[in-house]
Chain A
Amino acid sequence: MTSPELPNQSVASTLERLFEDCHDGLMRLAYVLTGDGAQSADLVQDAFVALGTRPKRRWPAPGSEYAYLRMCVINGSRRHWRREAVAGRARRVQRETAFDSVDSVGLDRAGQRRVADAVRGLPRRQRECIVLRYHDEMPIAEIAHALGISEGSVKTCLHRAHRALAEMLGDMR
Chain B
Amino acid sequence: MNDDSDTIRRALQAEARSAPPSRIDWQYVSNRTRRALRRRRQFVASALGVMVIGAGVAGLMLTSGDEPDSDSVAVQETTIPPVTDSTLTVVDTPAARPSTVVGITRDGRLLAIDVATGSVLRELAFEGDPAGEVDGISSFIDHATVDLSRSRVVYSVCCEPAVGQIKVVPLDGGPVEFIADGSGPDMNADNGLMATVSGSGVQLRTPMGTYVRSIEAPPDIAPSLRRVSWTKDGAHLIVESGGPDGASSRLFVVDQTATSFADATELRPPEGHAWSSAAPFAEDRLAVLDAHDSVTDVLIVDRQGQPVSTVDLGGRTPVALSVDSSRTWILVTLYGGGLLAIDDSLTVQEIAYNEVLVTADW
Q: Give the B-binding residues of A (Cβ under 8 A).
A: 1-7, 12, 15-16, 19-20, 23-24, 27-32, 35, 37-38, 40-42, 44-46, 48-50, 52-55, 58, 72, 76, 79, 82-83, 86, 102, 106-107, 109, 111-116, 119, 130-131, 134-135, 137, 162, 165-166, 169-170, 172-173
Contact = CB atoms under 8 A, between A and B. Distances in A.
Interface string B95-125: 0000000000000000000000000000000
B46 to A, nearest CB: 15
B22 A49 contact: no
Nearest to B28: A45
A106 B24 contact: no
A58 to B, nearest CB: 5
Contacts of B132: 54-55, 58
Given A28-B17, A46-B161, A112-B18, 4 more contacts: A2-B244, A6-B37, A31-B20, A82-B178
A49 B36 contact: yes
Nearest to B33: A52
Interface string B1-14: 11011011111111
B192 interface: no
B15 A24 contact: no
Interface in B141-192: 159-162, 165, 177-179
Contact of B34 (A5, A20, A109, A137): A5
Nearest to A35: B15
Contacts of B243: 1-2
Nearest to B163: A46
B26 A20 contact: yes
Contacts of A6: 30, 33-34, 37
A46 B139 CA distance: 13
B66 A32 contact: no
A55 B19 contact: no
